[in-house]
Amino acid sequence: MRHAYLKAMLPTMLVLTSLTFADEVAQANTPSQSKNGPMNNGQMQQMQTEQAAQPQYIEYHNRIAVFTPWHQVYERIQTDAFYVGVEGWIQPALSNNSHHRGVRIGEAELRMGYNYFYNGVDHVTPFLGVGFFKDLGRERSGWLEDNEHRHHEGQKAGIVYGVFGFLYDHEFNSVFNMGVNLKGIIGGPVSHRHHHWGSVVGGVDVSVPITFRFGPKRHWDIRLEPFDIYLHGSEISRNYFGGRSTIGYRF
């Protein structure tokens, strides 16, 4: 009798054992489980945030410009870390100067800030810094002295300034990046000549960096950066439009 009962219960016991084993396997493969038991909503959100913050493409800590002596730059670009940038360049540009539309301008700048990294593809870097700007074109001016009209032609004085703003770059894929850089400028000329800007000079610098990365591990890049710089002084105001370019190496 006992043997008959056990024989009748054997299929049921096998089914229950199989269901229990399948449930344990499913729990082990479920992402909401941890070693200490099921995850709560806060743990799930933290895990999703950490996954989203992971870089989707190859990231490096530093970038320098090479093969472009007219444009030198070093930037510390490590994600979620302190940022520093040192940059100097001389480029041709178009100006609203009625006498000299085509000019050459130069700039040297030191920036410090913080590299924020979002969604695995977005770089946002607020910064503060100091810099020097120089219009290398010639300016013509005239004035009345002893009932005679006098004229003078020469370069405007350079401008020493403080700068604040942000750098933004979005990685569309492992090859193509595009962003926008916005800077506010406030400063003054280093000397007061006939072609001086005025006691205080303020302005805005807007540029659109377009970057193409290449190489097996994307160490190299080519960056094209159209810009528009507007400077307003109490005596004269100028708008400069042009483009910067660099060949960069990341490490």
Which 3 state secondary structure label does DSSP give 190? coil
Report the C-alpha dihedral over residues 120, 65, 72, 63, rounded to 10 degrees. 30
What is the pLDDT at residue 33?
Answer: 45
Report the C-alpha dihedral over residues 236, 193, 144, 202, rounded to 10 degrees. 20
| Burial zone of 217 (CB within 10 Å; 0-12 exposed, 13-18 middle, 19+ buried) | exposed
Distance from chain centroid for Cα 97: 31
Identify the segments of the chain with pLDDT beneath 70: 1-53, 98-100, 139-154, 193-195
Would you say 56 and 239 are in contact if contact means Cβ atoms under 8 Å apart?
no
First to last CA, the chain: 80
Q: What token pair was written down for 53?
A: 């913050």
Q: What token pair was written down for 71?
A: 């444009």
List Cβ neighbours of 16 (8 Å cut-off, separation of 6 or more): none
Give CA–CA dist 165/127, Å, rounded: 6
What is the pLDDT at residue 14?
Answer: 46
Which 3 state secondary structure label does DSSP give 215? coil
What is the pLDDT at residue 137?
Answer: 79
**Cα-atom radius of gyration of the chain, to the nearest Å?**
31
Q: What token pair was written down for 40?
A: 């709560």
Residue indicated by tokens 């950066």: 225
- pTM summary value: 0.74
What is the pLDDT at residue 216?
Answer: 93
What is the pLDDT at residue 155?
Answer: 74
What is the pLDDT at residue 36?
Answer: 53
| Exposure string for 63-98, b = 16+ CB within 10 A, e = fewer | bebeeeeebebebbbeeeeebbbbbbbebebebebe
Q: What token pair was written down for 241?
A: 């439009």
Based on DSSP, count helices (H) and strands (E) in the chain, helices before strands: 2, 15
